[in-house]
Amino acid sequence: MTEALAEVAQWLQDARSVLVLTGAGISAESGIPTFRGKDGWWKNHDPMELASPEGFARNPALVWEWYAYRYHLVEKAQPNPGHHAIAHLEERTPAFLLLTQNVDGLHRRAGSKNVHEIHGSIQRMRCTRTGKIYHPTDVPIEPPFPLKTPDGDLLRPDVVWFGETIRMDAAEAVEDFLATHHPDVCLLIGTSALFAYIQSWSLRAKYAGARLVEINAERSTLSGMADAFIQQQAGTALPQLVEALT
Ligand code: OAD
C-alpha cells in the first residue's frame, strides 16, 4: 500500500462521518462505459447529445435504443470490488451517505443502503404525459422503440438529462447530511466533477473540516483541491483502503 493510501486509511479509521460522491468511473470496471471516456461513444453518437431533452425530441427511437443497450449492459454487469468496498465502509461508519451520479443501480446491488441517485435510475421509466412511473416488469425494455405505455403514451427513461433539474430528494439528503453530520472525510470517486453541485458539495465538506480524498484514474477539476489524490483505479484502491481498516 502506498503512503498516501495508508494516510487515507487512517483518516477513514478515525472518521465518524463519511460522505461519498461517485461517478461513472466506479462502474467502468464493471464494463459500463463512462460518459466522457473514448469508449462512451455509441454507434458514432455522442452520449452528451443522446442524454438530452433535445436529442429525445429529435429522435426518441434512437435515444431509446441507446438506453436499452445500456439497460441490458447494466443487467448483465456485476458490482465490482470498488462498489463492494464502499458498501463495507458504510457498515463500519457511524454516519454515512453515498451520492451517485450513476443511474446503473450497482451500488445498491453491492449492498450500499444510504445511497441517493442524483441523476435517477435506468431501471425506471416515466410517462411523458402523466409522469407515472413504470418498471421493466410493466413494460419490457425491448424493441420496437420508442417505448410506450399500455395507453400509447410516450415513455422516457426516468433519468436526468443535460439541462434538466437534478433529483431534489437526493440533493436535500446531501444538504441535510452536511448540516447534521459534518463529514470528517469526503471521498470523491471516479467522476470528472464537472457539475457545479458535485464541486460545491466537495468543497463545502472540505471547508467545513472534512479531508477531501479523490480516487480517479486521471486528474479531474478538483484534484488540485484534494487533501489526497489517489491516481488509481477505484476497484484497486478502494478494497486496499477498506482492508486496512480494523
Ligand atoms: P465522466 O465520464 O465524465 O467521468 C468519469 C471519470 O471516471 C473520469 O474522471 C475518469 O478519469 C474516471 N475513471 C474512469 N475509469 C476509472 C476507474 N476504473 N477508477 C476510477 N476512476 C475512473 O462521468 P461522470 O463524472 O460520472 O450525467 O459524469 C457525470 C455525469 O455526466 C453523468 O452522470 C452523466 C454525464 O453526462 C447526465 O447524464 C446528466
* Element holding 57 (H helix, E strand): helix 53-58
Q: How far, rounded to the nearest angstrom, does the alpha carbon of residue 114 sit from its chain's CA centroid?
A: 13
Give per-10-residue mean pLDDT for the chain (246 aa).
95 98 97 77 79 95 95 97 98 98 98 98 98 98 98 98 96 98 98 96 98 97 97 98 93
Q: Are 141 and 68 in contact (CB under 8 A)?
A: yes
Rounded to whole angstroms, the Cα distance separating 87 from 47 reads 29
Phi–psi pair at 86, nearest 5 degrees = -65, -40
Q: What is the pLDDT at residue 37?
A: 65
Ligand 1 closest atom vs CA 47: 36
Tell me, yes or no, if the pTM score tops 0.85: yes
Which residue's CA lies nearest to atom 11 of ligand 1? Answer: 218
**Euclidean distance between CA atoms 28 and 106, whole angstroms:** 11
Instruction: Judge if the beta carbon of residue 25 lies within 6 A of ligand 1.
Output: yes
CA-closest residue to ligand 1 atom 14: 25
- Scored b (16 or more CB within 10 A) or e, 153-164 reads eebbbbbbbeee
Indicate if ligand 1 lies below 6 Å from the C-beta of 220.
yes
Return the H-helix or E-strand segment holding 65.
helix 60-76
Atom 23 of ligand 1, residue of closest alpha carbon = 24
Place of cell 451520479: 101
Q: Could you say which of 84, 88, 107, 119 is catalytic? A: 119
Residue pair 239/79 in contact by the 8 Å Cβ criterion? no
Q: Is 30 a pocket residue for ligand 1 (Cβ < 6 Å)?
A: no
Is residue 47 within 8 Å of 35, Cβ to Cβ? yes
Residue 24 Cβ < 6 Å to ligand 1: yes
Nearest residue (CA) to ligand 1, atom 13: 25
72 part of the active site: no
> How far apart (Å, rounded) are the C-alpha atoms in residues 112 and 110?
6
- DSSP labels for 138-167? TS-S-SSSS-B-TTSPBEEEEEPPTTSPP-
